[in-house]
Amino acid sequence: MSKSRILNGAEASRRHGVLAGTYAAAIMHADPLADAAVEALHLFHGRWWPMVLKALEEGIAAVPDAPPELAALIASLPPEPTPEEREKMERGSAAVARAGDSAGLVLQCASLMIDYWSPPAMKPLVMTGTLKKDTIHRLTQINAWWIELHRPGGLHRDQDGYKTTLHVRLIHAFVRRMIRGSGAWDREAWGEPINQGDLFFQVVGFSKLMIDSLQRMGYRFTAEEKEGYYLFWRHTAALLGVEKVLLPYVNETDCGRYWDLWMLTNPEPDAEGIALAQTTLEAVAGIGNPSAPMRRFQLWLMRGATYWLLGGEIGRKLQVPWTQAGHFLPLVYKPAVRISEALAKWRGVDRGQAAARAIRKLAIGNAAVGVVPEGTQVVSAPDRLEALASFKPGAPTA
């Protein structure tokens, strides 16, 4: 168990019992199957991703030179959902995807911002320089991945949502390989790089934080839609390499408990996290906004949204500058959403149609930025990943 990584251990055990111990153990676990596959795949350089794609699309037998470690990874991928599960997942995904730009605002100001809270969880990104050097590229990659996942049928094995999720998992393994080889990682203090505990918290951010934030904005979800969305993320989490012991916790109640556990036990933001939170908002505000007044307005809006969606304590400790948008947004956003939802219901627009339109709009906006292409390269082109081979970490920090 990592000692210095976990604060308030006794209180965590009192509040959350077995879950606290499960989390503490998860910090020390990575993804052995993906790590083994990457150890074999890195020898193929730029050929590794086409090889994985062919194995997914045609079966491992269609790739004669595939290493056995890749075969083991492909064989371990989660089984296809039943038709009943698939229907629930599609209904839940469509209920969230219909929010369109509102969901995008949650991603940028809440789901991704909360990652900066924990210094140990951030260290892989800090050490590799991913956030400082490629902030816009990384953010648009994540947005593009989210879009592919939420397209109708996006989690089918033959769709880009599925394939890019596996790509994310392999990227994590490549980064772990580089960091471990650097000799700069303190496993006892920080746990494994991109470990199971941190990965599961990201799932919480994409599932519970997304639903809670959209409800705060005025969107309504039925119990069945929420159940379907958690099922959607349980399947996505399994594909991302989340351990089987953690998957049953992908539900509304346990994700809420995990959020409390995370905030209780993780150190508060350090100077790197604070700087990156501000850099992220400034970078996103600049995307697609050529004029300085529009950039300033967007930044004003996003800073306020961060306070609104994550709460005052988190906003203050991330040192996001406060703006009056934190008061303005709750007053106008919820009524506007409720009116829009009522009009859509009156016109007879179902959630699936609204979701498809919203996803198309998001995809067009993302493509207009000109950073991320469509298809199975939305996460990271192989040549960008190969550049990590020259990665030199900065000096270890406490």
Q: What is the pLDDT of residue 128?
A: 74
What is the identity of the amino acid at 365?
A: G
Q: What is the pLDDT of residue 340?
A: 82
* Structural domain of 71: 11-378
Residue 104 lies in a domain: yes
Residue 346 lies in a domain: yes
Residue 397 lies in a domain: no
Residue 206 lies in a domain: yes
Residue 133 lies in a domain: yes
Low-confidence stretches of the chain (pLDDT beneath 50): 1-2, 368-376, 378-398
Residue that is written with structure tokens 């074999």 in the block: 40
Distance CA 144, CA 142 (A): 5
Q: What is the pLDDT of residue 364?
A: 59
Q: What is the pLDDT of residue 366?
A: 54
Residue 160 lies in a domain: yes
Largest CA distance in the chain: 61
What 8-state DSSP symbol labels residue 2?
A: -
Q: What are phi and psi of 191, to 5 degrees?
A: 80, -170
Residue 137 lies in a domain: yes
Domains of the chain: total: 1
Q: What is the dihedral of CA 354, 227, 157, 358, to 10 degrees?
A: 20
Q: What is the pLDDT of residue 198?
A: 97
Residue 394 lies in a domain: no
Q: Which residues contact 26 (CB under 8 A, 6 or more apart)?
A: 195, 196, 197, 200, 243, 246
Q: What is the pLDDT of residue 286?
A: 80
**How confident is the model over 262-271, as pLDDT tens digits?**
999 999 999 9
**How confident is the model over 38-89, as pLDDT tens digits?**
999 988 877 888 899 999 999 999 999 999 999 999 999 999 999 999 999 9
Distance CA 35, CA 28 (A): 14
Q: Are 49 and 167 in contact (CB under 8 A)?
A: yes
Q: Are 366 and 106 in contact (CB under 8 A)?
A: no
User: Measured on CA atoms in the order 71, 77, 82, 84, is the torsion positive or negative?
Assistant: negative
Distance CA 81, CA 154 (A): 13
Q: Which residues contact 122 (CB under 8 A, 6 or more apart)?
A: 115, 116, 272, 273, 276
